[in-house]
Structure 1
């Protein structure tokens, strides 16, 4: 099996939530620790955090240009063949879905699920680093600096996913989504 490093994207501003999403808790565990543990249990040799959190192995995203610059920082620090990326705000993601992605043989520079940007498994290669550098160049307008553009240019393979798993890919970005998430994951919904 390929050696894989995990990366939790936790460097965003959480502006829609109004507080740092990574530090929100479900059953006494922060979303940051939940995401880290999921990547570890799925088989990642080490897990890096895109963001600045005391006591964690962090990669600092100096660009602060959204997920692409967090991924670029993660690839720069990655010392294994592959990088498995998971945003901190995907509390419904399962170990099984992450492991399936890790074990899937793919063509191109990475693999994700269809109709979902994350989780994303990338090869730690020069092609991915070059595409990210081009998309993050200062002359590129913000509206062209997207995960969708990266997927298109890097030829990311997309795995189909059964509709029964669609909820696993939901993010919690607002207080309302967070409230519903807590009800569902605490079993009181």
Structure 2
């Protein structure tokens, strides 16, 4: 997938945040919330459109038709609404992501690209074949419905992790969040 002038992003912001104990998307970051920070970051990096996955009316979010299906279920539910072409899928809780990493992922010539040992962020080149795989995995039972299963089926290409380790931190737990805040 070569970096084109037009790419779009899905911002995953509809999870339960059960390990955090509070809605991660609404945590304070950089004078706003993680949700507003990540939305702005994606637009500033060059996304022509940011589709927010989750019940986030303030940013035109798309609520899950079937809640509780995890990131893969949410992505599969969104897929019919997304136009063909390059997409970057990003979680709301990775505020250190850089445009350099986003562009590196989008520049990989493949249907799917990630950083090794990190299911997100993920670049996808959406077309009918990728949608069919997403649909198939998205309706599977919980144990079989995962981003890793999607990446395996799409023969994802992986960037080496070491150059990106510092920006791939996320806040899933209060401890992760405290460490992340210390890095900001």
Scaled by the length of structure 2, the TM-score of the pair is 0.90
1:96 maps to which residue?
100
Q: Is the CA contact 2:7–2:47 (under 8 Å) kept in the aligned structure 1?
A: yes
1:135 maps to which residue?
137
Tell me, in whole angstroms, the C-alpha distance in 2 between the residues paired with 1:180 and 1:53: 26
User: Relative to structure 2, which stretch is displaced further, 71-80 or 26-35?
Assistant: 71-80
Gaps of 5+ in 2: none
Tell me, in whole angstroms, the C-alpha distance in 1 between the residues paired with 2:108 and 2:154: 16
**Runs of 4 or more off by more than 3 Å in structure 1?**
none
Shift of the alpha carbon at 1:99? 1.8
Shift of the alpha carbon at 1:164? 4.5
The 1:10–1:116 alpha-carbon spacing in structure 2 relative to 1, beyond 3 Å, is: same
Question: Which among 43, 52, 59 is matched to residue 55 of structure 2?
Answer: 52
1:118 maps to which residue?
120
Secondary structure at the residue paired with 2:103?
helix
1:39 aligned onto 2:81: no
Tell me, in whole angstroms, the C-alpha distance in 2 between the residues paired with 1:21 and 1:106: 33
2:13 maps to which residue?
10
1:157 maps to which residue?
157
1:71 maps to which residue?
75
In the alignment of these two chains, the number of paired residues is 180
TM-superposition CA deviations, 1:89-128 (whole Å, max 9, x none):
11221121112222x1413x22122221111111121122
Gaps of 5+ in 1: none
Question: Which among 16, 27, 30 is matched to residue 30 of structure 2?
Answer: 27
Shift of the alpha carbon at 1:27? 3.1
Scaled by the length of structure 1, the TM-score of the pair is 0.87
Secondary structure at the residue paired with 1:37?
helix
Tell me, in whole angstroms, the C-alpha distance in 2 between the residues paired with 1:24 and 1:93: 17
Shift of the alpha carbon at 1:55? 2.1
Tell me, in whole angstroms, the C-alpha distance in 2 between the residues paired with 1:121 and 1:2: 15
The 1:120–1:9 alpha-carbon spacing in structure 2 relative to 1, beyond 3 Å, is: same
Secondary structure at the residue paired with 2:11?
strand
Secondary structure at the residue paired with 1:118?
strand
Tell me, in whole angstroms, the C-alpha distance in 2 between the residues paired with 1:156 and 1:74: 20
Tell me, in whole angstroms, the C-alpha distance in 1 between the residues paired with 2:155 and 2:84: 21
